[in-house]
Structure 1
Amino acid sequence: MAFFKFNNIRIAGIACTVPTNVVRTESYKPIFGDEEVDKFIKMTGVRSSHRTSEHQTCSDLGFTAASKLLEKKGIKAEEIGAVIFASHSPDYRRPSTAFILQYRLGIPREAVCYDISLGCSSLVNGIQCVASMMQNSEDISKALLFVGDTAGKSVNANDRSSAMLFGEAGAVMLFEKSNEPCNSINTLLRSDGSGFKYMIVPGGGFRFLHAPESPVMCQDGNPRSLHNSFIQGTSVFTFTIFDVPRVIKDFWSKTNTTVDDYDCYAFHQANLYILKQIAKKTKIPMEKLPITLDRYGNTSGASAILSLCDKYGDCRENQTINVMTCGFGIGLSWGCSSFDINTDDILPILEDDTVFTEGVFTDPNQLYSKI
């Protein structure tokens, strides 16, 4: 069992940014028809989402979130010892997006920076990675974990199963070493590579670099090219309603906790029906499981942080809450984490359309200019 317990490390702050552009799910009725859209809304709960512009990326959103968070906390960039970017939406095929964030934020060259290629489980896996790094380093006292995706950019616009589902967001989590023995982070992770085809963008990687761009009609009646997102709905649904409740119960058993020990369940916002099924099988009260996909869609790895920012970002009670988060999806990959956080360290959801124009290249000769 891949269980991890980290002592004397705390989550010192979280923030999340979405673009200002709002797409209403009902706006798809001219494309898919009233009946299809109404059915989709009822099943998924998604009534609107936020979408990025052509050149805006997940790191742009994360940069805004991190800048605001560090400003609020009074933390200087030179205090950050690690930058980890966990996402399936990098700025470039190479280099790692973490380096761009390091450069933009002014984080010193002594910091460690790299990417983790993960989607909906990026938060729980990222928590394990950063906490483990910090616990085994004498020098890293503060670190930033970036998560999120711009999944809508890889969806075929005429794919009724996915075009209305995804929202886009970028989130950041600040880690800090603590002298308080009560500060601990627990994580339980699982993986199943036999489901690699269940959620996939098969073209554009180095196995099929020059895959055809033209779409074909798939067996489920949706057009897609090999460069588009593909979701095998039935297999994904079966995975989420059986394996996810099991890992939640195993996590409670391993940590000697129960459903009542947590103030908030910040779960990946896959769709409303799946969340209700998970809650039913684990007896998690829905009032403890904040829902944000109705307004923001499925925002992949950022969705748990987005939900915390939505629920507690304007809280004035200055209370410490015990949070359990759960991520599950592409890979297949899933897991749980728990941590305490003060509500004063949770920022409200930010909206921003900033694009890192220095990183937009339309001509290879632009790369010869010095930074």
Structure 2
Amino acid sequence: MEKLGVAIIGSGSAVPTTSLDNQGLTQLVDTSDEWIATRTGIKERRLAGADESLKTIATMASFKAIAAAGITAADIDLILLATSTPDDLFGTACQIQAELGATKAVAFDLTAACSGFVFGLVTAAQYIRTGVYQNVLLIGGDILSRWVDWQDRGTCILFGDGAGAVILQANESDRLLGFELKTDGTQNHYLNLAYKASTDELIPGVKVNKGNFQPITMNGKEVYRFAVQRVPEVIDKALFHANLSVDQIDWLILHQANQRILDAVAQRLNIPAHKVISNLAEYGNTSAASIPLALDEAVQQGKIKPGDIIATSGFGAGLTWGAAIFQWGR
């Protein structure tokens, strides 16, 4: 029988070695540990050093996921890297493919900011459900410290670096139970990492733009309002597609943006606090890495067990948001 279902069968994660706590941030901007912790729930974040890159941490997370899934790199058909901070603008997935020795894998980057992992999960599932690929490595990884303005206390307190990975495999029963993805480009201006150009005249009458990217800019109030309103809605829709009720969820893993958002979403959905996975106190907002990082930690701690039903939701720049309901393991 052809296996056209999807199972998520292994996870792995990796973070840089250097950590910066809230006390350390007080040397950079006018803030305090209490102010940051009360408003965000974040206590510290990991920052990539000079010898660390997206490639190095994503590769480490991938090796762990491959081992946990009981397959080899040679078994992987597709590598999807959800990131907004590639080491190379042409893409970093190919570099990871080479590092892993995943010689038969097709590899490409996917950019949907903090929603990237959920968008990637749904994308990977389609390749398996159509019978094209058997084993997909999905990585969520970001090094946001490269693009933070360390003088802007509205954003520098939030972001950290990390990577998480999962293996999706063709399976007789489908463990991706339901999903819903959304985009609203009219709200794009609330959260940006924008290109900033200066104009060069090559020869008279021929001008080109050259430049770099500006640091992250964010309207925190609007992003908070958007998340608290839209995330419960999109989880509800995904549950409807999965034909499940809220009380059948074993774990809620939201993008780790802000503890107040996590609490508000859980409250609106009537999900008790003990079912909500949160690790942002240690890592901050790691964008596309946050969901797989939290998932892997909960698996390692023995919280998440095979058969558990997980509701997950990513939300962020774009503005994009989405939810997926899946059952852990084969």
State the TM-score, normalizing by the size of structure 1.
0.80
Query: How many angstroms apart in 2 are the aligned matches of 1:240 and 1:184?
Result: 23
| Structure 1 unmatched runs, 5+ | 1-5, 214-225, 346-371
Q: Give runs of aligned pairs for residues 157-176 of structure 1, distance below 5 A.
A: 157-176=150-169
2:120 is matched with 126
Q: Give runs of aligned pairs for residues 307-318 of structure 1, distance below 5 A.
A: 307-315=294-302
Letter in 2 for 1:244: V
Change (3 A) 1:316 1:26: closer
2:5 is matched with 8
In the alignment, is residue 189 of structure 1 matched against residue 186 of structure 2? no
> CA offset at residue 318 of structure 1?
5.5
| Structure 2 unmatched runs, 5+ | 200-207
Query: How many angstroms apart in 2 are the aligned matches of 1:244 and 1:316?
Result: 24
> CA offset at residue 30 of structure 1?
3.1
Match of 1:237 among 201, 221, 224: 224
Match of 1:106 among 101, 115, 119: 101
> CA offset at residue 177 of structure 1?
0.7
In the alignment, is residue 203 of structure 1 matched against residue 195 of structure 2? yes
Kindly indicate whether the alpha-carbon contact (under 8 Å) linking 1:171 and 1:306 is maintained by their aligned counterparts in 2.
yes
Letter in 2 for 1:154: W
Change (3 A) 1:272 1:183: closer
Kindly indicate whether the alpha-carbon contact (under 8 Å) linking 1:9 and 1:185 is maintained by their aligned counterparts in 2.
no
Query: How many angstroms apart in 2 are the aligned matches of 1:259 and 1:57?
Result: 39
- Give % identity: 26
SS in 1 for 2:102: coil
Query: How many angstroms apart in 2 are the aligned matches of 1:40 and 1:317?
Result: 29
Letter in 2 for 1:301: A
> CA offset at residue 209 of structure 1?
5.3
Match of 2:129 among 127, 131, 135: 135
SS in 1 for 2:237: helix
Letter in 2 for 1:197: H
SS in 2 for 1:32: coil
Change (3 A) 1:48 1:15: same
Query: How many positions carry a matched residue from both structures?
Result: 320
> CA offset at residue 202 of structure 1?
1.5
Change (3 A) 1:318 1:335: closer
Q: Give runs of aligned pairs for residues 176-325 of structure 1, distance below 5 A.
A: 176-179=169-172, 181=173, 183-203=175-195, 210-211=210-211, 227-315=214-302, 319-325=306-312
Match of 1:39 among 12, 35, 46: 35
Change (3 A) 1:73 1:124: closer
Letter in 1 for 2:195: G
SS in 1 for 2:271: coil
Letter in 2 for 1:117: T
- Which structure dedicates a bigger proportion of its chain to strand? 2
Query: How many angstroms apart in 2 are the aligned matches of 1:137 and 1:182?
Result: 13
1:49 is matched with 45
Query: How many angstroms apart in 2 are the aligned matches of 1:54 and 1:156?
Result: 18
Query: How many angstroms apart in 2 are the aligned matches of 1:340 and 1:193?
Result: 31
1:353 is matched with none
Query: How many angstroms apart in 2 are the aligned matches of 1:117 and 1:135?
Result: 22
Letter in 1 for 2:140: V
> CA offset at residue 68 of structure 1?
2.3
Query: How many angstroms apart in 1 are the aligned matches of 2:71 and 2:222?
Result: 44
CA-based RMSD:
2.3
In the alignment, is residue 90 of structure 1 matched against residue 86 of structure 2? yes
Kindly indicate whether the alpha-carbon contact (under 8 Å) linking 1:203 and 1:210 is maintained by their aligned counterparts in 2.
no
Kindly indicate whether the alpha-carbon contact (under 8 Å) linking 1:268 and 1:326 is maintained by their aligned counterparts in 2.
yes
Kindly indicate whether the alpha-carbon contact (under 8 Å) linking 2:5 and 2:128 is maintained by their aligned counterparts in 1.
no
Query: How many angstroms apart in 1 are the aligned matches of 2:272 and 2:149?
Result: 36
Match of 1:65 among 61, 70, 76: 61
Query: Structure 1, residues 21-63: CA drift from partner, whole Å, max 9, x if none?
Result: 11111112233345x5422221101001111013522231110
Query: How many angstroms apart in 2 are the aligned matches of 1:318 and 1:265?
Result: 14
